[in-house]
Structure 1
């Protein structure tokens, strides 16, 4: 009898989780909104914790190669995460200032804010140090890096010291950070950045809805100084497209 009751309880528990998931697909009442907001917050917290643990594991691997540097990176990451959590937890109540404390609407507004900020932070942490194969990059060589979620995938760019190239990738977070698309931009107008120009470099890198926007600075080997072009690397259907640049800007 006891075994049957336990089995029944487990079955009901499993069914309740299934119902909660299905219940959030179509919202038809305010109670559902509140319940699903809380569920989403917990899921976002779990993703953030997983991303943080992966980051610390990568720094532990770095520590095996350089003990002092690895310890320093771990300390920086730990302090940064603690400061960010404090920022999140003091920022989100501001979004609910006009709602009466203690009400469901107040809690839901804060939960939605925490969910949004936690997912954004998880994407940021995930984009710091993984390379194409998912292994650790040499952090001594990374000059700039950034990432942005596009639906179910994450786009990332990386530049490194000693290289004029811009690396861009599309990663699948739910697929073990498998690389779906990658591109390396080391030339423009048929000429290599290495020997086709006296200077070439990317600046002002920012993700937008249509892709990665950059400013390309170029100096010809025999020219009239530097020219700057506004460019975009389109991101469409989980693919990185060719660099597109406008005409030279007026200096």
Structure 2
């Protein structure tokens, strides 16, 4: 019986590790997406039922969908989409003048009116950076 306990713990540990490693992005859970060109890169953004974050990916040109760089955007002005707001709704994503522009409708935690933020996703050598936002409507 003494040998059985360590073996049981090892098996449980391996199961936990394998399930954590298998937590890949599930494209079948995407409900909002678009793609466009920024500089020499094909860029797409995705929203999934599994996360409130916006996933931005740069694809390798001519790479048949190979992801070069990606970033999950999960906060605005230092506040998390998970617990910094009551609700964060991506109203519009557009590729305009070589930029990715995301427009969010945000419901704050405090009893205050909803507001709209227009955010640009800057890129550095094909790598998406943190959102740069401005409030456009109270």
TM over 0.5: yes
Alpha-carbon distance, 1:163 to partner = 2.4
What TM-score does the superposition give when structure 1 sets the normalisation length? 0.41
Which residue pairs with 2:118 in the alignment? 230
Which residue pairs with 2:83 in the alignment? 195
Which residue pairs with 1:249 in the alignment? 136
The verdict on how the C-alpha distance between 1:238 and 1:162 changes in structure 2, with shifts beyond 3 A counting, is: closer
Q: Distance in 1 between matches of 2:137 and 2:43?
A: 31
Given the alignment of the two structures, is residue 182 of structure 1 paired with residue 93 of structure 2, yes or no?
Answer: no
State the Cα RMSD in Å. 2.3
Q: Matches of residues 95-244 of structure 1 in structure 2 within 5 Å?
A: 137-139=26-28, 141-244=29-132
Q: Distance in 1 between matches of 2:69 and 2:111?
A: 35
Is the 8 Å Cα contact of residues 77 and 133 (structure 2) preserved in structure 1? no
The verdict on how the C-alpha distance between 1:174 and 1:249 changes in structure 2, with shifts beyond 3 A counting, is: closer
What TM-score does the superposition give when structure 2 sets the normalisation length? 0.71
Q: Matches of residues 17-28 of structure 1 in structure 2 within 5 Å?
A: none
More RCO (CA 8 Å, sep 6+): 2
Q: Which blocks of at least 5 consecutive residues in structure 1 are unaligned?
A: 1-134
| CA deviation vs aligned residue, 1:181-229 (integer Å, no higher than 9, x gap) | 2111111222211111111122210012332111122222113121111
Alpha-carbon distance, 1:174 to partner = 2.5
What secondary structure sits across from 1:249 in the alignment? strand
Alpha-carbon distance, 1:145 to partner = 1.1
More strand by proportion, 1 or 2? 2
Aligned length: 115
What secondary structure sits across from 1:173 in the alignment? coil
